[in-house]
Amino acid sequence: MSGTKRVVLATHNPHKVEEFQAIVSATRPDLELAGYDGPEPVEDGVTFAENALIKARAAAAHTGAPAFADDSGVSVDVLGGSPGIFSAYWAGHAKDPVANRRLLLDQIADIADPHRAARFVSVIALVTPDGAERTVEGVWPGRIATAERGDGGFGYDPVFIPDGQDAASERTVGEWTDAEKSAQSHRARAFALLAPLLAEL
């Protein structure tokens, strides 16, 4: 395609690749999203932004192409914002999403519904080979369900209920279609802010 721009997505997570491919295809068809098979850096930052930059820098250096990376997780108010950057490892370094969800539900099992507020957060970092760096943040507010529902999505999707739904038919993200999630998710919101920056490449 004439005028196509190639950008590397710095992740080895196939779920993130699929989700970003859907977001990119819907909003920026002029972008060619390239996969990343290089070394995985140590994510030793203490914020979403720091970890996103670590991954994007590694991919840009390895490929010689502009690269963006997402660092994301769920932050629960009553837990002081945790799991946060530790979302993928909440139940241990096995990165077991089922164990992570079960531990989170157990930790707040006695918390009443009005106090289960939470948000999905995604920070996307864009790094170019010449060293330019930018970050954007997308936030998707909601609350944690009292039990898992739905087989869709990944990570904490089956326990996260986004705000803005009809109370009589509220669904977890695990019950949403891929298209619904791609249109409204924290990653979609962050990418909407990133798109103008990509246009400057």
Q: Which residues are catalytic?
A: 71
| Cα 1 to Cα 7: distance, rounded to the nearest angstrom | 14
Report whether 187 belongs to an annotated binding site: yes
State the Cα angle at 118 between 84 and 120, rounded to 5°: 55
Judge whether 55 is annotated as a binding position. Answer: no
> Is the separation of the CB atoms in 138 and 192 below 8 Å?
yes
- 38 has binding-site annotation: no
In the β-sheet with 117-127, what is the strand arrangement from edge to edge? 31-34, 5-9, 67-76, 117-127, 133-144, 160-162
115 labelled ligand-binding: no
The reply, when asked if residue 100 is annotated as ligand binding, is no
What angle, 0 to 180 degrees and rounded to 10, lies between the N-to-C axes of helices 14-27 and 186-198? 60
102 annotated as belonging to a binding site for a ligand: no
Q: Is residue 11 a known part of a binding site? A: yes
**3-state SS, residue 70:** strand
**95: annotated binding-site residue?**
no
Binding residues for substrate: 11-16, 72, 154-157, 181, 186-187
Question: Residue positions in the annotated binding site for Mg(2+)?
Answer: 71
- Write out the binding residues: 11-16, 71-72, 154-157, 181, 186-187
